[in-house]
């Protein structure tokens, strides 16, 4: 059974409509897994960072304990020297022990200064730690939402896509092999997956270049398959697009 050019164009445009729907679904589904992967990276990064800060805080606490022990020891020494001071026999001995007491006092001062510094560092680090924890919670929340979204979209669109693929199969039956070959090649080469496009505002809606009035009128005649002189896409008139979409 021989088809008219009009029937061929309609069949091609119908197939294009179905394929565009499939493209749209795949595009939506295609971006979500990437977003999920990015969030998973963020979460892992923050968890590593939090672990590192925790270790640093532990080290600082250890440093403080060490310095506190230094002070304890220095105080014990001071007490011991002070007792000795009561039993000195001569001036030289007195001088020597006094010097020792002074050294212990200096050790205590140094240790106390260090403890204060470590204390400040702990306070600052704790703020960073709290901020990282809050960021982590936020990212984890975003991740859960995106994962759920992906799950919903995947299950919702799966059926839709399968139905559309069946429709596409059916639509292809009506198109001769030569045209299918041209159509597939055009679709493969076009970034937007469009092989058949309409005239929109006197232009090709595939590449947006103007179509001369005579050519537009030829397209509306539907007597010949006409391609865009700029991008090579098959052109159909706006009225045909409406007819196909209403069918």
Query: Does position 88 bind Zn ion by CB under 5 A?
Result: no
Query: Does position 230 bind Zn ion by CB under 5 A?
Result: yes
Q: Which of 9, 53, 164, 204 binds Zn ion (CB under 5 A)?
A: 204
Query: Does position 231 bind Zn ion by CB under 5 A?
Result: yes
Contact 136, 50 (CB under 8 A): yes
Query: Does position 228 bind Zn ion by CB under 5 A?
Result: yes
Question: Which range touches Zn ion (CB under 5 A), out of 23-31, 104-112, 117-125, 229-237?
Answer: 229-237
Q: Which of 71, 85, 103, 207 binds Zn ion (CB under 5 A)?
A: 207
Query: Does position 215 bind Zn ion by CB under 5 A?
Result: no
| Rounded alpha-carbon distances, angstroms, from residue 28 to 18, 32, 76, 142, 203 | 16, 7, 73, 18, 28
Q: In the complex, what is the shortest distance from the CB of residue 203 to Zn ion, in angstroms, rounded to a whole number?
A: 8
Question: Which range touches Zn ion (CB under 5 A), out of 46-54, 131-139, 171-179, 227-235?
Answer: 227-235
What string of DSSP letters covers 108-175? HHHHHHHHHHHHHHHHHHHHHHHHHHHHHHHHHHHHHHHHHHHHHHHHHHHHHHHHHHHHHHHHHHTS
Q: In the complex, what is the shortest distance from the CB of residue 17 to Zn ion, in angstroms, rounded to a whole number?
A: 18
Closer by beta carbon to Zn ion, 220 or else 230: 230
Residues in 21-60 that interact with Zn ion by CB under 5 A: none
What is the H or E stretch that residue 222 is in? Answer: none
Q: What secondary structure letter does DSSP report for 39? A: H
Q: In the complex, what is the shortest distance from the CB of residue 14 to Zn ion, in angstroms, rounded to a whole number?
A: 20
Closer by beta carbon to Zn ion, 39 or else 197: 197
Q: Which of 206, 219, 227, 234 binds Zn ion (CB under 5 A)?
A: 206
- Interhelix angle 5-85/91-173, rounded to 10 degrees, is 170
Q: In the complex, what is the shortest distance from the CB of residue 226 to Zn ion, in angstroms, rounded to a whole number?
A: 11
Alpha-carbon gap, residue 236 to 12, rounded angstroms: 9
Count CB-CB contacts under 10 A for residue 159: 9
Closer by beta carbon to Zn ion, 46 or else 195: 195
222: left (phi over 0), alpha (psi -120 to 50) or beta: left
Q: In the complex, what is the shortest distance from the CB of residue 235 to Zn ion, in angstroms, rounded to a whole number?
A: 8
CA atoms within 13 A of residue 210's CA, in its CB half-sphere:
3
Query: Does position 240 bind Zn ion by CB under 5 A?
Result: no
Binding site for Zn ion (CB under 5 A): 204, 206-207, 228, 230-231
């Amino acid at each position: 059974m021989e088809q008219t050019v009009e029937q061929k164009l309609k069949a091609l445009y119908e197939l294009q409509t179905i394929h565009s729907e499939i493209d749209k679904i795949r595009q939506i589904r295609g971006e979500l897994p990437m977003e999920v992967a990015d969030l998973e990276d963020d979460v892992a990064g923050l968890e590593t960072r939090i672990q590192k800060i925790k270790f640093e805080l532990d080290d600082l606490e250890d440093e403080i304990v060490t310095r506190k022990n230094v002070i304890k020891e220095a105080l014990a020494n001071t007490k011991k020297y002070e007792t000795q001071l009561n039993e000195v026999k001569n001036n030289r001995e007195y001088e020597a022990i006094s010097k020792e007491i002074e050294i212990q006092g200096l050790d205590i001062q140094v240790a106390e200064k260090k403890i204060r510094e470590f204390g400040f560092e702990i306070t600052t680090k704790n703020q960073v730690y709290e901020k990282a924890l809050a960021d982590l919670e936020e990212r984890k929340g975003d991740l859960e939402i995106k994962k759920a979204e992906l799950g919903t979209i995947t299950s919702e669109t799966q059926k839709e896509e399968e139905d559309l693929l069946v429709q596409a199969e059916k639509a292809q039956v009506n198109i001769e092999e030569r045209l299918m070959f041209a159509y597939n090649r055009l679709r493969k080469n076009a970034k937007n997956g469009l092989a058949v496009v309409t005239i929109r505002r006197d232009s090709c809606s595939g590449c947006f270049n103007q179509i001369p009035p005579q050519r537009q009128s030829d397209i509306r005649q539907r007597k010949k398959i006409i391609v865009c002189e700029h991008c090579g896409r098959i052109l159909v008139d706006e009225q045909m697009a409406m007819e196909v979409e209403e069918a």
